[in-house]
Chains A and B, each alone.
Chain A
């Protein structure tokens, strides 16, 4: 091979540069987001683990049931009746979008467009 002395170190440098984020952050997933949980409610619609992994599917199901099927039936949780609604159910307990929703969404770098239309609870600017 011609120019072996340049190509091989060059390739090595290239691979190192490309994999930089992997080996630089090795073993460190960053600080786990700390969520502020509702103080006066213990139970959520589903167990916490399921909510963590599939709250988005649940919201989509609610949307389709309420809007398309017309099934607006309320559900009961700890003796209180709730609508199937992000704005009028979820956010009644999780009163702060900034201290709850945004924490994980920022951490995992997802930008759901919920709040382009839906109204987040009024809260002071904490940033």
Chain B
């Protein structure tokens, strides 16, 4: 009896050791007998993956400097000179993209892609008690900043919002689950939630039938007219300004583009630059 117990303990001990040691041995055999070479190979694979990601999704990655990065310069002074122009921009944008209007009575349901806000709200970093009268009185046109480091993209759990290869922070409404994390993450309030069916706030006879509407329960925002740029057109808001050049749109990565020329010549400011989101929308005030 004693002897049998002794044998059993021996076998059990050896099996345990073998069981614990085997995975390590197998791992070694699979990854090759030269640990250094294996590590190097792994690093190469990782590097490629990181590059791919930056190029395709930019989910929290840096933009590839060779790619496009669309941006916009908004000349607030020109909007002050032409009082009706800002509304024309908003109307053009909201008509092209079937953005609903629920009226003042349903302010909480409001959907906005581009809108007017007070100078102090748009630029809290640049605001103080003794502003000049013009800025105090007039409002500033604001929209999604299509940040280089978009916090909304990092917050989105489904990758419904993402930075595309042209630097536009776009949305795939098919994927949006309406969690509104992006709305909490966006420091500019550029995102609106569809509390009710947006078609309730649209005149179904006056829709732009080339562009979809949205559905209840998704978040929406300005898409920098990715649909129009794809066809070689200017964004609707820039178009609505006509030849006044109040909105200049172009590729920030192209040193010869018109927008870069404007940025070189004029002093511009961004909204909340301290947050490090690197907005693509610049303002001349």
Contact = CB atoms under 8 A, between A and B. Distances in A.
Q: Which size bracket describes the interface of B in this complex?
A: 20 to 34
Interface in A52-68: 63, 66-68
A29 B166 CA distance: 51
Given A67-B172, A70-B164, A113-B215, A119 B209 contact: yes
Contact of B207 (A66, A116, A119): A119
Interface string B164-175: 111000101110
A117 B209 contact: no
A117 B172 contact: no
Q: Which of B57, B170, B212 has the most chain A CB within a 10 Å cutoff? A: B212
Given A117-B214, A117-B215, A119-B209, 16 more contacts: A63-B172, A66-B230, A67-B164, A67-B170, A67-B172, A68-B162, A69-B56, A70-B165, A70-B226, A72-B231, A87-B209, A87-B212, A113-B215, A118-B212, A119-B212, A121-B209
Given A63-B172, A119-B207, A72 B230 contact: yes
B210 A63 contact: no
Contacts of A121: 209
Given A72-B230, A116-B215, A87 B210 contact: yes
B213 interface: yes
Contacts of A88: 210
5 contacts: A68-B162, A72-B230, A87-B209, A117-B173, A117-B213
Contacts of B213: 117, 119
Interface in A85-127: 87-88, 113, 116-119, 121-122
Nearest to B197: A116
Contacts of B210: 87-88
B12 to A, nearest CB: 50
A113 B175 CA distance: 12
A3 to B, nearest CB: 53
A20 to B, nearest CB: 37
B68 to A, nearest CB: 9
Contacts of A87: 209-212
Interface string B54-76: 00110000000000000000000
B224 to A, nearest CB: 12
A70 B212 contact: no
A68 B164 contact: yes
B67 to A, nearest CB: 10
A68 B215 contact: no
Given A113-B215, A116-B215, A68 B209 contact: no
A87 B210 CA distance: 7
Contacts of A63: 172, 174
A17 B213 CA distance: 46
Contacts of A116: 215
Interface in B175-215: 207, 209-215
Nearest to A87: B212
Given A63-B172, A68-B56, A72-B230, A117 B212 contact: yes
A63 B171 CA distance: 12
A66 B170 CA distance: 11
A72 B207 CA distance: 23
B212 A68 contact: no
A122 B206 CA distance: 12
Nearest to A117: B212
Contacts of A122: 209
A108 B212 CA distance: 26
Nearest to B68: A70
A75 to B, nearest CB: 14
B159 to A, nearest CB: 9
Interface in B124-166: 162, 164-166
